Amino acid sequence: MAPVSICNARKSFGAVNVLRGVDVEVADGEFVALVGPSGCGKSTLLRIIAGLEGLTDGDIVIGDRVVSDVAPRERDVAMVFQNYALYPHMTVARNMGFSLKLAGRPAAEIERRVAAAAEILGLQALLQRLPKQLSGGQRQRVAMGRAIVRDPKVFLFDEPLSNLDAKLRVQMRVEIKALHQRLKTTTVYVTHDQIEAMTMADKIVVMRDGIIEQVGSPLDLYDRPANMFVAGFIGSPAMNFVTGALRDGRFMADGGPIFTAEDMQAFGDREVVLGVRPEHFDIHPDGAEVEVVVVEQTGSEMLIVTRLGEATLNCLVRERLRLKSGDRIRLMPRAGHLHYFDPATGQRLGYDEPVTGRGSFSSASSVPSASGHSPSSKAAAGHWMTSIRSMISGRNSYRPEMYYMRGPGPKTRSKRLLDDPAG
């Protein structure tokens, strides 16, 4: 186990800036999820930690060692890929032990480690099967077992559940979380599914367009989103947004009062976007009148899609109400659960004030880190020497899948050192 520090990470592919100064601190033994829409840079960041991609600028520190220019096989990390990446001609046991064989480990040690990992994952009866004889969930367990046998300092997961059906995803979420609780290995997990992030992670890093929007615990982000993007991305169904204005302690939209709440007076009279989560609406005779558009029954809950003027409001209730399209009901938001955003910037109003409602807010963990982490002079000196040796060697092309197992990693600073010897 080891902490991971991502310091001012920048990555460009030609003129396209994929990462634009990312700072993340992963504590020893912590489970951190990188979440965001497609193209936000989360998988690129994971591959940079693994050494499969080089940095344009910045540092990656694992433990007390700067590894930005260290070969992937020497970083002591293990990665579980989205597509399992199992060798089809090898049995489960051989797949799990192959990295140890490449490392020259004794056969007895390989057998012992494979047996131990198989016991943890419930694969004892499958060790002699080929990948084609396994289900999707079993193949994912084998991929996890291949990572476990290496006993790495850091586990890296790249959307490992995206190829599984809904029921199996739920099962594997539980298994991965239980595995982390048992092994207590530092874990960085990439997903576009905010439900996976909410249910498994100790800390979530929400990314968009190569930058970090917010960092915090699942309930930090859910109860106190920093902006409209995080508010709309975290939570399912998503938060409702209504554009309007605060006037004399009332929220006004479409020319008339919609909601009244005491906490509205704290912001004075101004234009705002009101945010309310679907479960924080109650059907109340004093609420705003809305028209029912769609009713979705899921058994345990009922999702009521309604229309308020030009806005669509989703209401989530436990009761089984007899409603149909065209009915009219009145919705009242619960006091203490309203969110106000600046319509110009999308930022939450009063973000630095204490949160009311579920969970807690820690300013230290809920805003992006800008620590400017500086490794020790000894580690930094070794880092620059590694860069210089890399520059001299001239080996700048690589195949990530091969280098992950066998060869040197990408060169992060070779070109930058040539352009600017001072770094």
Query: Using one digit for the tens of pLDDT, what is the confidence trace for 366-381?
Result: 333 333 444 443 333 3
Q: In what order do the strands lie in the sheet with 256-260?
A: 256-260, 250-253, 240-247, 270-276, 339-341
CA distance 314 to 306: 6
- Same domain as 163, residue 57: yes
DSSP 132: G
Reference 161, options 132, 130, 192, 125; nearest CA is 192
Q: C-alpha angle 34/39/42, rounded to 5°?
A: 20
Task: Enumerate residues 6+ apart whose C-beta is below 8 A from 406.
Answer: 73, 102
In a domain, 352, yes or no: no
| pLDDT for residue 261 | 64
- Same domain as 159, residue 241: no
| pLDDT for residue 423 | 40
- Same domain as 335, residue 211: no
CA distance 52 to 348: 37
DSSP notation for 21-65: EEEEEE-TT-EEEEE-STTSSHHHHHHHHHTSS--SEEEEEETTE
CA distance 177 to 107: 30
**312 vs 258, 293, 300, 301, CA distance in Å?**
14, 9, 23, 19
Question: pLDDT, tens digit, for every residue of 176-202?
Answer: 999 899 989 999 999 999 999 999 999
CATH of the domain at 241: 2.40.50.140
Q: Which two tokens stand for residue 215?
A: 């960092």
In a domain, 280, yes or no: yes
In a domain, 32, yes or no: yes
Cα distance from N-terminal residue to C-terminal residue, the chain: 30
Structural domain boundaries, residue 284: 229-341
**36 vs 33, 81, 121, CA distance in Å?**
10, 18, 29
In a domain, 113, yes or no: no
- Same domain as 296, residue 178: no
> Is the pLDDT confidence value at 387 over 50?
no
- Same domain as 255, residue 269: yes
Last residue of a domain, one of 309, 324, 341: 341
Q: Which two tokens stand for residue 126?
A: 């499958």
The beta strands (E) that lie in 177-222 are given as: 186-191, 203-208, 211-216
Burial environment of residue 161 by CB neighbours within 10 A (0 to 12, 13 to 18, 19 or more)? buried
| pLDDT for residue 257 | 65
- Same domain as 72, residue 195: yes
- Same domain as 327, residue 249: yes
- Same domain as 266, residue 182: no
What mean pLDDT is reported for the chain?
82
In a domain, 390, yes or no: no
Reference 339, options 237, 254, 232; nearest CA is 232
Last residue of a domain, one of 319, 341, 363: 341
- Same domain as 328, residue 179: no
- Same domain as 39, residue 64: yes
Residue 263's pLDDT band (cuts 50, 70, 90): low
3-class DSSP state of 234: coil
Last residue of a domain, one of 318, 341, 364: 341
CATH of the domain at 16: 3.40.50.300
- Same domain as 309, residue 205: no
Residue 103's pLDDT band (cuts 50, 70, 90): confident
In a domain, 39, yes or no: yes
Residue 352's pLDDT band (cuts 50, 70, 90): low
Percent helix / strand / coil, the chain, rounded to 5: 30, 30, 40
In a domain, 172, yes or no: yes
In a domain, 44, yes or no: yes
Question: pLDDT, tens digit, for every residue of 243-253?
Answer: 988 888 788 88
Q: 186-191 and 154-158 as β-strands: parallel, antiparallel, unpaired? A: parallel
| pLDDT for residue 266 | 74
Q: How many domains does the chain have?
A: 2
- Same domain as 24, residue 8: yes
3-class DSSP state of 88: coil
How many other CB atoms are found less than 10 A from the CB of residue 103?
Answer: 12
